[in-house]
Structure 1
Amino acid sequence: MSWLLPRLLVMLASLGLAMLAGHFAGFWLGSSELGTAVGAAAGVTLVVVIDTVRGARLLRWMRSDLALGAPRDAGFWAEVAYRSERAVRERDKAIANEQRKLAEFLQAIEASPNGVVLLDDHDQVSWCNAIAADHLGLDARRDLHQPITNLVRKPAFVAYLQSREWREPLMLAEPSGLSALQLVMRGYGERQTLLITQDVTERQRSDAMRRDFVANVSHEIRTPLTVLAGFVETMASLPLTGVERTRVLALMQQQTVRMQTLVADLLTLAQLEGSPRPAIDRWVSLSGLLERAAADGRTLSAGRHTITVLPVPALELAGQESELFSSVVNLVGNAVRYTPDGGQISVSWQARPDGGGEVLVRDNGIGIAREHLGRLTERFYRVDGSRSRDTGGTGLGLAIVKHVMQRHGGTLEIDSEPGKGSSFRLGLPVGRLRATAAAATLADDATSRVG
């Protein structure tokens, strides 16, 4: 209130001066009382005019865009202008701060791995992030203020939205099974809705694979157990001759070996998935690795096939020896199982243009139809289940090979044609190859002699 006393003093002084001037003017005109009244009226009029002009300037500023400063008058109007300008600046500052917070909040939602859609009280799109636009097929700008039910026309979604009962999430899956969305809705504000979308395709696929895996394991173990139980019951309840008993025991041993192989392969897969990647400072001889795998293949073949190892360069491979050997011997074993008697199987090494290389296992067996090639590395996938069981396969060999190659930064490539055999390639990157110490010494000696 510092403006009040000066304003009163100025008004009184102006009025007093005007009355005094009117008194003297009235004295000359013969009526001092009339002059005093006229002077007082003139003084009041002057004060009102000045206040009116100052008030008009302030109103003109308040009606403008307020970008310029308020009028710099004195007294009462100066105080009003100052306080008005400060209130406007504080309001602008508060609005800017809220806008900044809103922008940061929307940026945070934009960075969310889930889709977010804000719906108003008429179920129109107020805002959505890019993930939600991709999930629901929206345009984040063009579809603003459009009813969501006009944009997402799935009957299940429309019924879920209109029910206003959102205790459980809604699943939207494509008939092809290539994608699946989980939608969650929550109300907020005055009949506004928060819609959250999440792509659960991989989760559902993993769950399906896990269920299939458990079912397959149960089936694979149940079969030999059923056979063993039947044989045990037969031996316990029937009088068998020595020959019959020997035959039954042989079959029981065969089923026992099958279960042991299956459990061993399952443990190998679990170990591969749960252990860190192999180090690159442990080196394995390439020629020794291939010769050992070929020897195991010859044992399995029992002379029914010709298995050859073509000459390989003096190289070493970096990685886990047991895993690399398991990969090669699995491929050789598959070639033996699916190649008729008298067939040819070769194991070789080929260099790649990028400096890497590949182990190549080739046979002239029955081959595989093209539609099966993409699924051969799935667990328990068999082109012919009955034949695989007859040959002693567990359906896990190629899954093991794929995991080993992934852990070593390599690849598994399969090429086959029915009736013409198959080729399996284990590709290894250049970082996991080196010449053996003897080969490196010979190369250095040759270089020094040429120099």
Structure 2
Amino acid sequence: MPPQTRSAWTRTLGQLAIVLAVALLVGFALGHPWPALAIAALGMSAWHGWKLHGLLLRLAARQRVAPTGDGGVWNELDRLVHRGQEDMRGRNRRLVEMLRAYSAAAAALPDAVVVLERNSQRVRWFNDAATGLLGLRYPDDIEASLGERLQPLPLSHWLAGGRRAEPILDAASPVDPAVRLSLRLIPYSDALWLLVARDVSKLTRLEQMRQDFVANVSHELRTPLTVVHGYLDMLDPEDQPEWAPILDEMRRQSLRMTQLVEDLLTLSRLEAQDGVADEHVAMDSMLVTLRREAEALSQRRHEIRVDDDAGIDLLGSTRELHSAFSNLVANAVRYTPAGGHVAIVLARSEDGGATLSVRDSGYGIPAAHLPRITERFYRVSTSRSRESGGTGLGLSIVKHILHLHQARLDIESEVGRGSVFTCRFGPGRVIARDRAGAAPSPVEQP
């Protein structure tokens, strides 16, 4: 107990003892000591009850309780309550200042910020940028349904997904269709969501410029490379035997550049596509073609195995899916040492979809490289990629093709024990093989 509180308590007990002693003496003088003592005790209880009642009334009325200055326990209680009130006022003042600072910072952000209720999707608050980017008006749109207010945007279904929704939605601004917005839904609390909309129009234009530049440059490189390759084929190393190694290296590099240009054109074409045709892709003939290509590339240096127990076909582009699967198989053969094995497995998944996995017993990929392995031109080992003839675009092409088929690529790998590349397709891309009619012919190599 603090000294000041102990002193107040001792003072109050002393006052009570003095009052009771005086009452007892007066009682003895009158010949009725005990009634006098009882009356004094009741009086003291009534006085303390009156002080407690007054304190409760002041607290209930949210009045500031100032110390009375009598030095007793009630003065100490008033002092402690007053100190608590002052501390609370200070904390509230600091909280208000912080809220004002946060509100001013949120209002100054160039991104639109909207706080909305989780269940009803009603707007609770928004900053100034939300007016320019989303068209929200204060105070008319407070408590309005965001999905109904921004009707041109496909927000209702997206917001209904909550924590399961896609993290980012790309859409045009309802204020200006030329402005592209990137919308992100952030969990704010159990009852509230935070919607952040960012203007990505410049980034979209820059990305389009990059795609156009890569496509144009790649297309223009085709002709000179064809000419160079043609002249190299015309040169006969028998005329100048000492030139033979130089000509062989020039042919290899010419072919490598041609393959790089073709991959860049393929990637540019895939980035420009919005979707693929829903063709019937016969997986039995597809697997036969993949086995033949793997054996041709392996030259009997590996064990090639194909497992097809799923009994299903796929919906999609035969050409694109063959390109994706062929890239995975070629990578598995290139990066597996002689004597290793490569397995191509088609199976059903638990959700009713399908998976095509390419397993190898190759070098494996360090875990630090896995998050970036599908980026264009990203190489785990530059020297090994050059030796194998890779362009660094294969997995990027695979990723884009699967994205167009609403599928995804999962990669598992361990250094020294090989890798597993799995293409996962949803149930909507699966067809039972016995209901499919005539199967298309196998995909042939150009």
Relative contact order (C-alpha < 8 Å, sep 6+): which is higher? Answer: 2
What is the TM-score when the length of structure 2 is the normalising length? 0.48
What is the TM-score when the length of structure 1 is the normalising length? 0.48
